[in-house]
């Protein structure tokens, strides 16, 4: 820096430097916040893997670390889907496991000996911090640094994201959200700069996303939609071309490298939109090019030519597309994707999809629970995005609109909505603060200062991408008053009523601004309180260990699941097969290391239906089904004693439906009394004789003498019965998991029992016959 010739410029530079350091520190703190808010589960419970799918990912990671990446691709898992097995390497999104495996290797190389489990537990919080930083970058590209920091802070603690990324929630979404945001950031960055470097990075980020989560189809549909939007609104530029064309080419090639995607990247309809837009953008590019080199008259001739040729090509492509789509069995769409477009599709046709609670549409309260105040700030953010509609902000708008739709279809996709909501709310809050604080500042400085200096707070711009951002910065300033007016109307009614008289001026009355700032801070405080509560109470339970508070405040821990799995791993042969409903498949293979028949990767409907049929059948038929599958043990989850509602009896109707979908002799009405599902004395005989009922309620009456089910709040219908083909081998402390063994066929086949006629001959012998009744072969 030269001599202080221009003190004003120097002050600006210093302020700039301060701003950068400050935002760096803020980002660091946001990272710490994102990480630490997710540690409640470890502190309140322990450092364990949560729920169902994470156990599978954990097991895959263990295998990856033990056997290396080449064996991982070739891994044929014989512990699951017996006897079909599962080719893990070809059916799993490897991003998460490869990430955690790499982290583990790095830590080990640094001589930090962590267990695989520890790395897996903390992967999600680490990537939440990354996701917050990626949000900062993305929002900065859309609306500047202030909005970026706000959005990052909001994302760091948005409950929707916390619910899927607490420590221990080792699932694909943990890294996929980061990958999603960073892909969008790099796309916007490329769009803003037109740099091929960022375009390449974008393709690599997309590749990482494809590796990580099936939700990558959201990206490969959203970006083409945005490109199409830009073209339609006349915003075509070479930057748009650079942002899009390399992504499609490189991204598709890279995606095809992931075994689970493979040729799906060019074969299924989910990807067709991107190819269609790829063609369109080339046509448009050609048109612009021809327009540039031809005179207007020549151009008109060329247009007719191109339009006619384009129509022919378009029809040809359309015909090919239709032929391709029509030739694939589900019209090219997988069941899960179809249920996105037609929310009732799954519940109508695919019970196996409908049976999963996270595939249900969300309720209104869940929006408030998962997004809290963001739900109200989003509309303001959308308006702010229109204030100057840039390429980047139109993308943000498109992102929020589509993700709102998808979240309405499937509660699981709230997760995709959360970053969009954070970005929008960040923009809204930041713009509001921008206007309000500037008003306060200007009022306080009175009219002496020139309002032109207000370059500071909200619009800190990195000098690199000067050309592009200067333009947007100017436009931001131009319209900031109108923008602020509208935003006030949305957010804080008091402020908006006051601000109405301001038309052209950039300032609001001092008092109104103060109150508005105070209210906004209050709003933010409520959000923080809610997020911390959600992280600590609602989303920290690992579901493998349950706790309950008794009336006197004592904590009661239910550790039945691990008790049962430990029993299995210690008391059964290594090759024994365990049958259970598919929910517990991943946990059984990961924790008990025993072969299961079906698991949470519900790829074979018939096999699941076989297990469902066995569970719905009477004992003998069930025994035969299980025996034909070499099953040795049957595991059922029963919550009737302690009131654990998500037990197998409550899932039983799904077993009946899924079983009946393949084996028509299982009929749902047989299990319902007048359309009602009940387990009391009114229940149908089919229900009371089904294996699931018997295994759940066997000896249950011995607990309290009358067999009162605390989940269904009724006395059970059939209390005293014996099992003939199964024997109870283990029941956990709270009866939550019950294990049964299939009895082997009887060693001898008995003749008819002696009739009492012969006993009348000698009284002594008849006494002994009476005593004999106790013998175990009866």
Partner 1 sequence: MAAPKSVAVFFAVLNLISLLPFIAFSFSPDQPTDRKILVLLDDLSLKSSHSIFFNTLQSRGFDLDFKLADDPSIAVKRYGQYLYDGLVLFSPSADRFGGSLNIEGVLDFVDSGHDLILAGDSNASDLIRNIAAECGVEFDEDTSAMVIDHAGYAVSETEGDHTLIASDEFIQSDVILGSKKLEAPVLFKGIGHSLNPENSLVLKVLSASSSAYSANPTSKLSNPPSLTGTSISLVSVVQARNNARIMISGSLGLFSNRLFRSGVQKIGSLNKYEKSGNEQFVTELSKWIFHERGHLKAVHLKHNKIGETEEPSIYRINDDLEFSVEIFEWSGTSWVPYVANDVQVQFYMMSPYVLKTLSTNQKGLYHTSFKVPDVYGVFQFKIEYQRLGYTTLSLSKQVNIHSCVSFHKFC
Q: Catalog residues that contact partner 1 under the rule CB under 8 A.
A: 70, 73-74, 76, 78, 82-85, 87, 89-90, 259, 575, 628-629, 744-755, 757-759, 761-762, 764-765, 768-769, 772, 775-777
Tally of CB atoms within 10 A around 756: 9
Q: Which residues contact 331 (CB under 8 A, 6 or more apart)?
A: 269, 325
CA 441, distance to chain mean position in Å, is 43
Report d(CA 724, CA 722) in Å as an integer: 6
Q: At its nearest, how many Å lie between partner 1 and the CB of residue 599?
A: 14
Of 571 and 758, the one with the shorter C-beta distance to partner 1 is 758
Q: At its nearest, how many Å lie between partner 1 and the CB of residue 220?
A: 23
Of 207 and 345, the one with the shorter C-beta distance to partner 1 is 207
Q: At its nearest, how many Å lie between partner 1 and the CB of residue 573?
A: 12
Residue entry with tokens 């009732």? 344
Structure tokens at 640: 């009737």
* HSE-up (13 A, CA, CB side) for residue 253: 8
Torsion sign, CA atoms 177, 181, 183, 184: positive
Of 263 and 364, the one with the shorter C-beta distance to partner 1 is 263
Of 503 and 755, the one with the shorter C-beta distance to partner 1 is 755
Q: At its nearest, how many Å lie between partner 1 and the CB of residue 336?
A: 24
- Neighbour-count burial for 556-594, b at 16+ CB within 10 Å, e otherwise: eebbbbbbbbebbeeebeeebbbbbbbbbbbbbbbbbeb
For 361-492, where are the alpha helices, taking DSSP H only?
Answer: 364-371, 374-386, 391-409, 414-444, 466-491
Q: At its nearest, how many Å lie between partner 1 and the CB of residue 750?
A: 6
Of 66 and 300, the one with the shorter C-beta distance to partner 1 is 66
Report d(CA 54, CA 119) in Å as an integer: 13
CA 368, distance to chain mean position in Å, is 17
Structure tokens at 33: 């916040």
Q: At its nearest, how many Å lie between partner 1 and the CB of residue 662?
A: 14
Structure tokens at 153: 């802070």
Q: At its nearest, how many Å lie between partner 1 and the CB of residue 754?
A: 6
Q: At its nearest, how many Å lie between partner 1 and the CB of residue 355?
A: 24
Q: Are 470 and 544 spatial neighbours (Cβ–Cβ below 8 Å)?
A: no
Of 570 and 773, the one with the shorter C-beta distance to partner 1 is 773
Structure tokens at 160: 């929707």
Of 70 and 364, the one with the shorter C-beta distance to partner 1 is 70
Report d(CA 513, CA 500) in Å as an integer: 13
Q: At its nearest, how many Å lie between partner 1 and the CB of residue 621?
A: 17
Q: At its nearest, how many Å lie between partner 1 and the CB of residue 775?
A: 5
DSSP letter, residue 465 = G
Of 447 and 749, the one with the shorter C-beta distance to partner 1 is 749
Q: Which residues contact 300 (CB under 8 A, 6 or more apart)?
A: none
- Neighbour-count burial for 105-138, b at 16+ CB within 10 Å, e otherwise: eeeeeeeeeeebbebbbbbbbbbbbbbbbbbbbb
Q: At its nearest, how many Å lie between partner 1 and the CB of residue 487?
A: 53
CA 169, distance to chain mean position in Å, is 11
DSSP letter, residue 590 = I
Of 705 and 776, the one with the shorter C-beta distance to partner 1 is 776
Q: Are 460 and 476 spatial neighbours (Cβ–Cβ below 8 Å)?
A: no
The β-bridge relationship of strands 631-637 and 577-579 is parallel
Structure tokens at 593: 């290391």
Residue entry with tokens 């070499």? 630
Q: At its nearest, how many Å lie between partner 1 and the CB of residue 363?
A: 42
Q: At its nearest, how many Å lie between partner 1 and the CB of residue 604?
A: 11
CA 670, distance to chain mean position in Å, is 36
Of 89 and 144, the one with the shorter C-beta distance to partner 1 is 89
Report d(CA 443, CA 381) in Å as an integer: 26
Of 274 and 613, the one with the shorter C-beta distance to partner 1 is 613
Phi and psi at 549, nearest 5°, equal -100, 130
Report d(CA 727, CA 483) in Å as an integer: 72
Q: At its nearest, how many Å lie between partner 1 and the CB of residue 614?
A: 14
Q: At its nearest, how many Å lie between partner 1 and the CB of residue 753?
A: 7
Q: At its nearest, how many Å lie between partner 1 and the CB of residue 329?
A: 20
Of 575 and 702, the one with the shorter C-beta distance to partner 1 is 575
Q: At its nearest, how many Å lie between partner 1 and the CB of residue 680?
A: 38
Report d(CA 616, CA 703) in Å as an integer: 25
Q: At its nearest, how many Å lie between partner 1 and the CB of residue 776?
A: 8
Of 547 and 628, the one with the shorter C-beta distance to partner 1 is 628
Report d(CA 558, CA 538) in Å as an integer: 17
- The Cα angle at residue 394 between residues 339 and 481, in degrees rounded to 5: 135
Tally of CB atoms within 10 A around 299: 15
Of 126 and 254, the one with the shorter C-beta distance to partner 1 is 254
Of 295 and 761, the one with the shorter C-beta distance to partner 1 is 761
Of 74 and 108, the one with the shorter C-beta distance to partner 1 is 74
Which residue in 187, 599, 531 sits closest to 391, CA to CA?
A: 187
Of 259 and 408, the one with the shorter C-beta distance to partner 1 is 259
Q: Are 241 and 272 spatial neighbours (Cβ–Cβ below 8 Å)?
A: no
Structure tokens at 641: 């004693």
Q: Length of the chain in residues, anyone?
A: 778
Of 493 and 575, the one with the shorter C-beta distance to partner 1 is 575
In angstroms, the Cα distances linking 170 to 117, 290, 553, 612 are 10, 53, 31, 28
């Amino acid at each position: 820096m030269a001599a202080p010739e221009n003190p004003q410029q120097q002050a600006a530079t210093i302020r700039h430097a301060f701003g950068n350091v400050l935002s760096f520190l803020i980002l660091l703190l946001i990272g710490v916040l994102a990480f630490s808010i997710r540690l409640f589960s470890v502190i309140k419970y322990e450092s364990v893997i949560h729920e169902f799918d994470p156990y599978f990912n954990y097991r895959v990671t263990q295998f990856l670390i033990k056997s290396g990446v080449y064996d991982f691709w070739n891994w044929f898992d014989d512990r699951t889907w017996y006897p079909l097995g599962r080719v893990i390497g070809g059916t799993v999104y490897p991003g998460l496991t490869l990430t955690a495996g790499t982290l583990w290797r790095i830590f080990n190389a640094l001589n930090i000996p962590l267990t695989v489990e520890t790395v897996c537990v903390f992967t999600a919080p680490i990537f939440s911090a990354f996701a917050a930083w990626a949000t900062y970058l993305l929002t900065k590209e859309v609306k500047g640094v202030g909005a970026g920091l706000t959005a990052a802070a909001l994302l760091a603690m948005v409950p929707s994201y916390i619910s899927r990324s607490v420590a221990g929630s080792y699932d694909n979404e943990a890294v996929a959200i980061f990958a999603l945001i960073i892909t969008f950031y790099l796309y916007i960055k490329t769009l803003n700069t037109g740099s091929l470097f960022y375009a390449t990075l974008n393709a690599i980020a997309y590749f990482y996303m494809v590796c990580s989560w099936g939700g990558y189809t959201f990206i490969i549909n959203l970006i083409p939609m945005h490109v199409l939007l830009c073209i339609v609104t006349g915003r075509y530029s070479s930057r748009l071309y650079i942002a899009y064309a390399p992504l499609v080419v490189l991204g598709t090639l890279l995606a095809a490298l992931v075994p689970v995607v493979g040729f799906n990247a060019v074969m299924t309809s989910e990807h067709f939109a991107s190819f269609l837009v790829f063609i369109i953008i080339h046509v448009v590019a050609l048109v612009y090019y021809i327009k540039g080199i031809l005179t207007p008259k020549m151009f008109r001739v060329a247009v007719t030519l191109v339009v006619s040729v384009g129509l022919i090509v378009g029809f040809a492509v359309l015909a090919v597309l239709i032929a391709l789509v029509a030739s694939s069995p589900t019209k090219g769409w997988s069941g899960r994707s179809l249920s996105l477009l037609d929310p009732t599709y799954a519940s109508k046709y695919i019970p196996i999809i409908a049976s999963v609670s996270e595939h249900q549409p969300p309720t209104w309260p869940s929006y408030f629970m998962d997004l809290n105040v963001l739900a109200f700030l989003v509309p303001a953010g959308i308006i702010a995005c229109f204030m100057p509609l840039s390429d980047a902000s139109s993308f943000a708008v498109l992102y929020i609109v589509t993700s709102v739709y998808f979240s309405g279809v499937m509660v699981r996709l709230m997760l995709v909505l959360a970053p969009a909501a954070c970005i929008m709310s960040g923009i809204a809050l930041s713009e509001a603060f921008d206007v309000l604080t500037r008003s306060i500042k200007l009022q306080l400085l009175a009219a002496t200062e020139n309002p032109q200096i207000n370059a500071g707070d909200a619009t800190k711009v990195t000098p690199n991408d000067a050309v592009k951002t200067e333009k947007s910065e100017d436009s931001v300033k131009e319209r900031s008053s109108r923008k602020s007016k509208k935003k006030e109307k949305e957010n804080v009614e008091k402020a908006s009523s006051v601000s109405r008289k301001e038309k052209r001026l950039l300032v609001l009355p001092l008092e109104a601004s103060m109150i508005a700032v105070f209210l906004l801070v209050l709003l933010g405080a409520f959000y923080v309180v809610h997020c911390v509560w959600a992280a600590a109470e609602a989303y920290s339970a690992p579901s493998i260990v349950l706790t309950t508070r008794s009336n006197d405040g004592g904590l009661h821990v239910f550790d039945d699941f691990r008790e049962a799995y430990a029993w299995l791993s210690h008391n059964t042969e290594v090759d024994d097969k365990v049958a259970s409903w598919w929910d517990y498949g991943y946990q059984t293979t990961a924790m008990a290391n025993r072969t299961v028949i079906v698991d949470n990767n519900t790829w074979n409907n018939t096999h699941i239906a076989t297990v469902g049929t066995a569970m719905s059948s009477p004992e003998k038929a069930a025994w035969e089904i299980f025996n034909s599958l070499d099953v040795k043990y049957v595991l059922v989850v029963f919550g009737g004693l302690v009131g654990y509602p998500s037990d197998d009896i409550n899932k039983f109707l799904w077993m009946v439906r899924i079983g009946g979908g393949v084996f028509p002799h299982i009929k749902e009405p047989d299990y319902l009394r007048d359309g009602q599902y009940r387990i009391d004395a009114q229940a149908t005989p089919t229900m009371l004789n089904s294996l699931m009922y018997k295994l759940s309620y066997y000896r249950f009456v011995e607990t309290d003498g009358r067999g009162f089910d605390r989940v269904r709040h009724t006395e059970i219908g059939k209390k005293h019965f014996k099992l003939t083909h199964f024997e109870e081998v283990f029941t956990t402390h709270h009866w939550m998991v019950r294990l049964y063994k299939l009895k082997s066929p009887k060693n001898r086949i008995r003749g008819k029992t002696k009739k009492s006629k012969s006993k009348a001959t000698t009284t002594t012998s008849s006494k002994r016959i009476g005593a004999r009744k106790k013998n175990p072969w009866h």
